[in-house]
A and B are shown apart, each in its own frame.
Chain A
């Protein structure tokens, strides 16, 4: 019993060091990170201009506030979502994709490691790397902006703590979904099409295009319950205080349920695929 526990610990440590090595390697590309941050800041500024115009000059200019988001909150929303936008899986990990396409998956199966956990660690690193520089630089710019464009303070200290926890869950959710899509991609014949479509649906429904609260009122419940609200919308709502800290527990539980579902689906699909896997190359 003790022995198996120890063996398990060593395994977990192995996956964690895989994650650590890859992250450390990735964040060395400082300039690439800064270039990406410049796009994030530019994009955020345009979004802020558009929202400001709507909140000040539109025919129903109070519609946003009535939906529960003031202009100040929307501006904070834009900054936060731009900071962590690249955490969302927009394609699967390049290394994994290469292995699938070249047939090196066969080689991977020879390792005395669980392939799913291995890929999960790799995907986690590739979700964290793009956020590292882009996120910090974008947030720094957001704090240093002149007042009307600045990132607002969190609504409350407790809300902020909950939102930090929720941001971490968002990271896990992005990783779980990214790994799930990688297992779908194991079917080489389908090509990249289905993979990108799945990712895109996630991106649209995450609130990155438009805060979910500003979507049509009739859809609000569904929008909150669907898995991708957990990417951005739930953590940011907790930060802004548009969701009370009392509800934080159930919202984070929702994120955790989706994480568990995606992990289970990924594992099941991988087990099924590996039985009939086509190894390419020679």
Chain B
């Protein structure tokens, strides 16, 4: 409980610091433009080529938006882990964290927080609502819960990716750029209709990194594309499992830590 309070205090402090910079609305706008322009390629493709069988632009955008919103949530609330390999460990600041009698996890997670990252979440939520409206899905309580749980699960998955990267950073400080495949590049996969996606990609993003479990499956359940509704609820357990695995790697990493910097 005290960890949660500490974490919230960290966020509060970072929020106040961030607001000191007069340019913060510009940063919010900038991230918003990044998020809005990102799917422009796929939208223009649909505009020129038309739908692919049952797959319309709304369907693809819904799955895409689910993944993006999850990513945005993780980026907002776990920014510390995202920055960890590049900022905290290289400068040797991690030594100071080790000295404090508080949860390491909370300290790292709360070490950075940027208000403008939340615009990805808002843009994503907006896109989800628009797609559901266009697809004429009736929003029952169950559906809203499914989507909510999926977003929480998704946040855990992407937080897991950040934690995993941080864990690996103990062994190799440089050349972690390939992790990009699991973050910003991972949700690009959702641009491909699931029925036409190569098996390798599909299995990889279901069983290794459960990106499709938190985006496609809940969307399919809510919109009734499949008969098995319960698969849509698998997002939260999948997210928890992935985060657990990442935490394991992180623990091993911490145990191997030898200080850097001076």
A residues sitting closer than 8 Å to B (CB atoms) are: 29, 31-32, 34-36, 38-39, 42-43, 46, 49-50, 53-54, 57-61, 63-64, 67, 189-194, 196-197, 200, 204, 209-210, 214-216
State which of A46, A57, A191 has its C-beta within 8 Å of the C-beta of B191: A46
Q: In the bound complex, do residue B40 and residue A210 qualify as a contact, i.e. CB atoms below 8 Å apart?
A: yes
Q: What 1/0 flags go to B29-59 for Cβ under 8 Å of A?
A: 1100110010011101101111111000000
Q: In the bound complex, do residue B175 and residue A204 qualify as a contact, i.e. CB atoms below 8 Å apart?
A: no
Chain B interface residue count, Cβ-Cβ cutoff 8 angstroms:
39
Q: In the bound complex, do residue B196 and residue A53 qualify as a contact, i.e. CB atoms below 8 Å apart?
A: yes
Q: Does B247 touch A at the CB level, under 8 Å?
A: no
State which of A36, A50, A194, A216 has its C-beta within 8 Å of the C-beta of B192: A50
Shortest C-beta distance, B215 to chain A (Å), equals 15
Contact A46 to B188, CB < 8 A, known contacts A54-B45, A193-B27, A216-B44: yes
Q: Does B15 touch A at the CB level, under 8 Å?
A: no
Contact A29 to B174, CB < 8 A, known contacts A61-B49, A209-B40: yes
State which of B45, B185, B192, B197 has its C-beta within 8 Å of the C-beta of A42: B185
Q: In the bound complex, do residue A58 and residue B51 qualify as a contact, i.e. CB atoms below 8 Å apart?
A: yes
A191 and B30 alpha carbons, distance in the complex (Å): 12
A204 and B201 alpha carbons, distance in the complex (Å): 26
With both beta carbons as reference points, the residue of chain B lying nearest to A214 in the complex is identified as: B48
Shortest C-beta distance, B254 to chain A (Å), equals 23
With both beta carbons as reference points, the residue of chain A lying nearest to B116 in the complex is identified as: A193
With both beta carbons as reference points, the residue of chain A lying nearest to B37 in the complex is identified as: A204
A59 and B51 alpha carbons, distance in the complex (Å): 6
State which of B44, B177, B197 has its C-beta within 8 Å of the C-beta of A49: B197
Identify which of A54, A61, A214 gathers the most chain B CB atoms within 10 Å of its CB. A54
Chain A residue contacts of B185, Cβ below 8 A: 39, 42-43, 46
Q: In the bound complex, do residue B48 and residue A50 qualify as a contact, i.e. CB atoms below 8 Å apart?
A: no
Shortest C-beta distance, B132 to chain A (Å), equals 23
A32 and B26 alpha carbons, distance in the complex (Å): 31
Q: In the bound complex, do residue B175 and residue A35 qualify as a contact, i.e. CB atoms below 8 Å apart?
A: yes
Q: In the bound complex, do residue B51 and residue A34 qualify as a contact, i.e. CB atoms below 8 Å apart?
A: no
Contact A31 to B174, CB < 8 A, known contacts A39-B181, A43-B188, A50-B192: yes
State which of B29, B42, B178, B198 has its C-beta within 8 Å of the C-beta of A39: B178
Shortest C-beta distance, B247 to chain A (Å), equals 24
Q: Does B248 touch A at the CB level, under 8 Å?
A: no
Contact A193 to B23, CB < 8 A, known contacts A38-B181, A200-B33, A209-B40: yes
Enumerate 26 A-B pairs (CB-CB under 8 Å) in ascending A order.
A35-B175, A35-B176, A39-B178, A39-B181, A39-B185, A43-B188, A46-B188, A49-B198, A54-B52, A57-B196, A58-B52, A59-B49, A61-B49, A63-B48, A63-B49, A191-B21, A191-B26, A193-B26, A193-B27, A193-B30, A194-B26, A196-B30, A200-B30, A209-B41, A214-B44, A214-B45
Q: In the bound complex, do residue B52 and residue A210 qualify as a contact, i.e. CB atoms below 8 Å apart?
A: no
A225 and B214 alpha carbons, distance in the complex (Å): 42
Q: In the bound complex, do residue B27 and residue A191 qualify as a contact, i.e. CB atoms below 8 Å apart?
A: yes
Kindly list the 10 A-B residue pairs having the minimum CB-CB distance in the complex, ordered from nearest. A59-B50, A193-B26, A191-B23, A58-B49, A210-B41, A31-B175, A35-B177, A209-B41, A35-B178, A35-B175
Q: In the bound complex, do residue B177 and residue A32 qualify as a contact, i.e. CB atoms below 8 Å apart?
A: yes
A108 and B26 alpha carbons, distance in the complex (Å): 29
Shortest C-beta distance, B114 to chain A (Å), equals 12
Q: In the bound complex, do residue B26 and residue A36 qualify as a contact, i.e. CB atoms below 8 Å apart?
A: no
Contact A60 to B49, CB < 8 A, known contacts A193-B27, A209-B41: yes
A169 and B159 alpha carbons, distance in the complex (Å): 42
Q: Does B189 touch A at the CB level, under 8 Å?
A: yes
Chain A residue contacts of B176, Cβ below 8 A: 35
Q: Does B193 touch A at the CB level, under 8 Å?
A: yes
Q: In the bound complex, do residue B201 and residue A49 qualify as a contact, i.e. CB atoms below 8 Å apart?
A: yes
Q: In the bound complex, do residue A210 and residue B201 qualify as a contact, i.e. CB atoms below 8 Å apart?
A: no
Q: Does B230 touch A at the CB level, under 8 Å?
A: no
Q: What 1/0 flags go to B167-198 for Cβ under 8 Å of A?
A: 00000001111101100010011011100111
Chain B residue contacts of A197, Cβ below 8 A: 29-30, 33
With both beta carbons as reference points, the residue of chain B lying nearest to A67 in the complex is identified as: B48
Identify which of A31, A53, A63, A214 gathers the most chain B CB atoms within 10 Å of its CB. A53
Q: In the bound complex, do residue A200 and residue B44 qualify as a contact, i.e. CB atoms below 8 Å apart?
A: no
Q: In the bound complex, do residue A38 and residue B178 qualify as a contact, i.e. CB atoms below 8 Å apart?
A: yes
Chain B residue contacts of A43, Cβ below 8 A: 185, 188
Chain A residue contacts of B181, Cβ below 8 A: 38-39, 42
A210 and B37 alpha carbons, distance in the complex (Å): 12
Shortest C-beta distance, A92 to chain B (Å), equals 15
With both beta carbons as reference points, the residue of chain A lying nearest to B40 in the complex is identified as: A209
With both beta carbons as reference points, the residue of chain A lying nearest to B176 in the complex is identified as: A35
Chain A residue contacts of B49, Cβ below 8 A: 54, 58-61, 63-64
